Amino acid sequence: MPEKSPDLWAAVLAWVSQVMPQLYAPALSVVIAVLRVIYGGGSRRQMLLEGALCGLATLSVVPLLQWLGLPANMATFAGGCVGFIGVEKLRELADKFLTSKAGG
């Protein structure tokens, strides 16, 4: 019974505190993307897809920040930026960057 074992709840809380940037950064990105689509007059389908794609893009950026040696608090900034910019603009920026690096 989980409610009778305080060790389980301590382990769960320790795990949540350890992966907190991977939780709140995509959540912030999703919220900002959804609000941006609502503000722009987009459809419900566009709102759901944009939010999901921004959340997943942010989830993939968080390990990059850690690899670069930046603090975990930068994940919040990254999530906000990804949500504000949106997946279409991110795709354009990534295409430009990769094209310039590939010499095309």
- 3-state SS, one letter per residue, for the chain: CHHHCHHHHHHHHHHHHHCHHHHHHHHHHHHHHHHHHHHHCCCHHHHHHHHHHHHHHHHHHHHHHHHCCCCCCHHHHHHHHHHHHCHHHHHHHHHHHHHHHHCC
How many separate domains does the chain show?
A: 1
pLDDT at 89: 93
pLDDT at 19: 85
Q: What is the pLDDT along the chain (104 residues), one digit of tens a residue?
A: 556 777 888 888 899 888 888 889 999 999 999 999 999 999 999 999 999 999 999 998 888 998 999 988 898 899 999 999 999 999 999 999 999 988 86
Distance CA 38, CA 36 (A): 5
pLDDT at 1: 52
The tokens for 93 are 């920026």
Domain with 32 in it: 21-102
pLDDT at 73: 84
